[in-house]
């Protein structure tokens, strides 16, 4: 297929790239651009060149799907160098997004114009690599080292206006981009070429102190990532070295990133997030229901945050509580959240009232009768959920989608109390619901296809990452969290200090360790759950020491004492000798001779538990893909994206090794909690990976 075409418009050549969906720089595009440049270089009738794109966007970058394949000449570096070396002006005409290799092509052009809605950026860092076709050398020459660092390390999309201010764009045009680009090119004939690579870099702001301060400022957000430091080194090279040497350095560092497993993990996440909305039996032609108004039951921790998501998308919400005080309290929290966002400059303070105007508080179920979707977020008790759904069934109009935000309860049982189980599903948000990106969409046994399809689309409308899960205790995320927490707590009773468990998992890349997380959530929550479950149903050794803490009044951060001690007004966890005494006494009480644990052992225990549960979920069909599980864990639990989620991490270790480790744990710790998932055994014995499992399933569809 010809993806690059040429048309002469007078003495100007208009080159059009047409490689749907996003004009990625696939082999045919690179070859096409190179051939056009070579032909036009020798064509005296051509005085200037415009590079534009068909479809929804300018070139959105290298073709990520080609990353796993053997490189095919010409490479992008050859293409951009050829464009820059042209001795007739080349103008990039940008609409949509000029990202990664797309911006590198644009930077190699001599001039760039764009429509105001266009965005530019170098998002390579998000894929575990760095701009490898001159972006790290050319952007600092145009925009300055500081702006270049900002763009390359954040990978963010930069608005056309900001890009204009940086000098990345020469002009913004309201409409007829191609016409304007041709006119611009006409004017550029007299000006001649202006090669980005020949611009002298402004060294005044690029001092070693500036780089040191920048490294410090991004240290938290880049913790554990391999590529960001290499990106910074590239910009340093741009400041210190002539273009050619800088490009060579960029190449070396690019290859280091490319060879690092983090690159594969982050690229896996890129595609995984784009797979989630592919659901067996649901297609473009599945009907959708219109959602113009949403009802929320419960204005507590979750209800208020859930409601904010809809208000943010301009969808009015009616929010119901049992008592006026609870309603007032809930809406006060919402207003406070909006006011804080406005104070941070996210939107003008006047907008707070506009947003609050989308909320209708009520104590009466009758006010929910005109809602198209009603989400219940009341107490986590089956009797209350059943009572609420029975009432909803009586007042809601036909065709309304009824959803529960339950964390663990059986949606099929909730649906069964209504006369319309096909309209019922789970919409499980994560706390804080207005911030966390994950939404588990729980497909119950009788959920209708159009209900599911509507909610999958709705997740995008409210800017959530919506992953479909099946009904089971805790769905995907919380079900996996349970064995992870158990192993962490067992490590403590067997000999590790709580802070050692936390440090091991933090250093693995988790945002915080499980002990700190328990303190934050409140140790009493688990305590009360366990009271209702019965001692025969959980690992008492793991949790008895935590229960002792609760009984001693140590309920966690909220009371200033839990697994750790906290000083007033300070959330920093401090190891507490009193807690160690309780732990040591508990170890002795259950007959455990405490032995030190290495960080590797702690990580291995917790990760194997996570992976094995994930494999069970997958084998039972409660998740459609291993990659969906990865999306859940990265977006809902802060699993390090650079490890690609627990299932990709398992693949990177090799499933044979994972399976054998679990068998070893079975020998050492007993079979009660260590039963390899049947799917894991099957894949390990067949020499396959979770990715193979996903691919095989996709091929069957």
Q: How far apart are CA 68 and CA 12, in angstroms?
A: 38
Binding residues for ligand NAI, total number by CB under 6 A: 23
**104 catalytic, yes or no?**
yes
* Contact of residue 380 among ligand NAI, ligand 3HC, none (CB under 5-8 Å per partner type): ligand NAI
User: Of the two residues 165 and 322, which places its CB atom closer to ligand NAI in the complex?
Assistant: 322
**Of all residues in this chain, which one has the CB nearest to ligand NAI in the complex?**
300
User: Of the two residues 9 and 386, which places its CB atom closer to ligand NAI in the complex?
Assistant: 386
Rounded least distance, CB 636 to ligand NAI, Å: 10
Rounded least distance, CB 361 to ligand NAI, Å: 12
Scan residues 268-327 and list those touching ligand NAI (CB under 6 A).
Answer: 297-303, 320-322, 326
* In contact, 422 and 405? CB cutoff 8 Å: no
Rounded least distance, CB 635 to ligand NAI, Å: 14
Q: How far apart are CA 416 and CA 420, in angstroms?
A: 8
Contacts of 118 (CB under 8 A, 6+ apart): 58, 94, 95, 96, 97, 98, 160, 163
Rounded least distance, CB 622 to ligand 3HC, Å: 23
Tell me the H-state helices in 219-323: 227-240, 243-259, 261-275, 301-312
Residues that bind ligand 3HC (CB under 6 A): 21-22, 24, 57, 60-65, 76, 97, 99-101, 104, 123-124, 127, 131-133, 135, 274
DSSP character for 317? E
Tell me which of 84, 104, 321, 613 is the catalytic residue. 104
Q: How far apart are CA 447 and CA 385, in angstroms?
A: 17
Q: How far apart are CA 646 and CA 626, in angstroms?
A: 9
Give just the sign of the alpha carbon dihedral 317, 323, 326, 328.
positive
* Contact of residue 127 among ligand NAI, ligand 3HC, none (CB under 5-8 Å per partner type): ligand 3HC
Instruction: Return phi, psi of residue 179, to 5°.
Output: -60, -45
* Contact of residue 466 among ligand NAI, ligand 3HC, none (CB under 5-8 Å per partner type): none
Tokens of 181: 């680009």
User: Of the two residues 118 and 444, which places its CB atom closer to ligand 3HC in the complex?
Assistant: 118
Scan residues 394-423 and list those touching ligand NAI (CB under 6 A).
Answer: 405-407
Does residue 384 bind ligand NAI (CB under 6 A)? yes
User: Of the two residues 61 and 526, which places its CB atom closer to ligand 3HC in the complex?
Assistant: 61
User: Of the two residues 196 and 309, which places its CB atom closer to ligand NAI in the complex?
Assistant: 309
* In contact, 250 and 137? CB cutoff 8 Å: yes
- Spatial CA neighbour of 630 closest among 694, 682, 681, 677: 694
**124 catalytic, yes or no?**
yes
| Candidates 53-61, 429-437, 446-454, 508-516; binding stretch for ligand NAI (CB under 6 A) | 429-437
Rounded least distance, CB 457 to ligand NAI, Å: 22
Phi-psi region of 379 (alpha: psi -120 to 50; beta: other; left: phi over 0): beta
User: Of the two residues 233 and 405, which places its CB atom closer to ligand 3HC in the complex?
Assistant: 233
Rounded least distance, CB 99 to ligand 3HC, Å: 4
* Contact of residue 302 among ligand 3HC, ligand NAI, none (CB under 5-8 Å per partner type): ligand NAI
Tell me which of 39, 73, 78, 124 is the catalytic residue. 124
Q: Which of 370, 380, 412, 457 is in the footprint of ligand NAI by CB under 6 A? A: 380
Rounded least distance, CB 50 to ligand 3HC, Å: 21
- Spatial CA neighbour of 153 closest among 167, 140, 169, 168: 140
Q: Which of 201, 377, 647, 683 is in the footprint of ligand NAI by CB under 6 A? A: 377
* Contact of residue 322 among ligand 3HC, ligand NAI, none (CB under 5-8 Å per partner type): ligand NAI
How many CA atoms, within 13 angstroms, populate the side-chain half-sphere of residue 365?
12
Q: How far apart are CA 233 and CA 409, in angstroms?
A: 51
How far is the CA of 43 from the CAs of 39, 191, 213, 593, in angstroms?
7, 19, 50, 84
User: Of the two residues 132 and 676, which places its CB atom closer to ligand 3HC in the complex?
Assistant: 132
Q: CA torsion 45→49→50→53, rounded to 10°?
A: 90
How far is the CA of 666 from the CAs of 41, 54, 543, 657, 675, in angstroms?
69, 58, 20, 14, 7
User: Of the two residues 66 and 380, which places its CB atom closer to ligand NAI in the complex?
Assistant: 380
Catalytically active residues, by annotation: 104, 124
Binding interface with ligand NAI (CB under 6 A): 297-303, 320-322, 326, 377-380, 384, 388, 405-407, 429-431
């Amino acid at each position: 297929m010809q993806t690059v075409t040429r048309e002469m418009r007078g003495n100007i050549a208009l080159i059009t790239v047409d490689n749907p969906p996003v004009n990625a720089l696939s082999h045919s595009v690179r070859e096409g651009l190179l051939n056009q440049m070579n032909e036009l270089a020798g064509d005296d009738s051509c005085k200037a060149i415009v590079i534009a794109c068909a479809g929804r966007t300018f070139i959105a970058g290298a073709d990520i799907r080609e990353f796993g394949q053997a490189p095919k000449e010409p490479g992008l570096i050859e293409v951009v160098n050829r464009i820059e070396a042209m001795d007739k002006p080349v103008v990039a005409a940008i609409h949509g997004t000029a990202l990664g290799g797309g911006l590198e092509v644009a930077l190699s052009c001599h001039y760039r114009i764009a429509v105001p809605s266009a965005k530019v950026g170098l998002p390579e860092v998000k894929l575990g690599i760095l701009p490898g076709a001159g972006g790290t050398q050319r952007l600092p020459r145009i925009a300055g080292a500081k702006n270049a660092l900002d763009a390359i390390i954040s990978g963010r999309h930069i608005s056309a206006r900001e890009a204009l201010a940086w000098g990345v764009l020469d002009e913004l045009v309201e409409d007829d981009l191609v016409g304007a680009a041709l006119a611009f090119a006409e004017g550029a004939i007299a000006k001649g070429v202006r090669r980005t690579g020949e611009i002298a870099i402004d060294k005044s702001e690029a001092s070693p102190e500036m780089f040191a301060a920048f490294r410090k400022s991004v240290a938290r957000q880049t913790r554990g990532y391999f590529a960001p430091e290499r990106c910074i080194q590239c910009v340093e090279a741009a400041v210190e070295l002539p273009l050619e040497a800088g490009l060579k350095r960029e190449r070396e560092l690019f290859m280091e990133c490319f060879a690092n497993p983090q690159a594969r993990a982050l690229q896996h996440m890129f595609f995984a997030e784009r797979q989630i909305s592919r659901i067996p039996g649901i297609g473009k032609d599945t009907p959708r229901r219109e959602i113009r108004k949403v009802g929320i039951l419960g204005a507590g921790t979750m209800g208020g945050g859930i409601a904010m998501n809809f208000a943010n998308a301009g969808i009015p919400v009616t929010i119901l509580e049992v008592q006026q005080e609870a309603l007032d309290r809930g809406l006060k929290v919402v207003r406070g959240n909006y006011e804080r966002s406005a104070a941070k400059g996210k939107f003008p303070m006047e907008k707070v009232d506009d947003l609050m105007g989308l909320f209708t508080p009520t104590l009466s179920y009758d006010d929910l009768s005109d809602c198209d979707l009603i989400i219940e977020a009341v107490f986590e008790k089956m009797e209350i959920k059943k009572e609420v759904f029975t009432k909803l069934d009586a007042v809601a109009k036909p065709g309304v989608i009824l959803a529960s935000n339950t964390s663990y309860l059986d949606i099929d049982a909730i649906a069964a109390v209504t006369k319309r189980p096909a309209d019922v599903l789970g919409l499980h948000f994560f706390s804080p619901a207005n911030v966390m990106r994950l939404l588990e969409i729980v497909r119950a046994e009788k959920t209708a296809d159009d209900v599911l399809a509507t909610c999958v689309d709705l997740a995008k409308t409210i800017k959530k990452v919506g992953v479909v899960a099946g009904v089971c205790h805790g769905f995907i995320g919380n079900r996996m969290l349970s064995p992870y927490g158990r192993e962490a707590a067992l490590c403590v009773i067997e000999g590790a200090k709580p802070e050692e468990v936390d440090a091991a998992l933090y250093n693995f890349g988790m945002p915080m360790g499980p002990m700190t997380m328990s303190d934050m959530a409140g140790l009493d929550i688990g305590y009360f759950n366990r009271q209702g479950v019965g001692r025969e149903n959980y690992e008492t050794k793991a949790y008895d020491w935590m229960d002792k803490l609760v009984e001693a009044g140590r309920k966690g951060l909220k009371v200033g004492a839990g697994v750790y001690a906290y000083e007033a007004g300070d959330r920093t966890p401090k190891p507490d000798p009193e807690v160690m005494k309780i732990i040591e006494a508990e170890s002795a009480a259950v007959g455990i001779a405490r032995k030190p644990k290495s960080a590797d052992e702690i990580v291995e225990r917790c990760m194997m538990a996570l992976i094995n549960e994930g494999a069970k979920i997958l084998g039972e069909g409660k998740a459609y893909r291993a990659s969906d599980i990865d999306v859940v864990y990265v977006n809902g639990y802060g699993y390090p994206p650079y490890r690609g989620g627990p299932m990709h991490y398992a693949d990177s270790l090799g499933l044979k090794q994972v399976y054998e480790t679990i068998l070893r744990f079975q020998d050492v710790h007993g079979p009660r909690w260590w039963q390899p998932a049947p799917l894991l055994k099957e894949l390990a014995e067949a020499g396959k990976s979770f990715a193979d499992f996903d691919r095989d399933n996709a091929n069957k569809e």
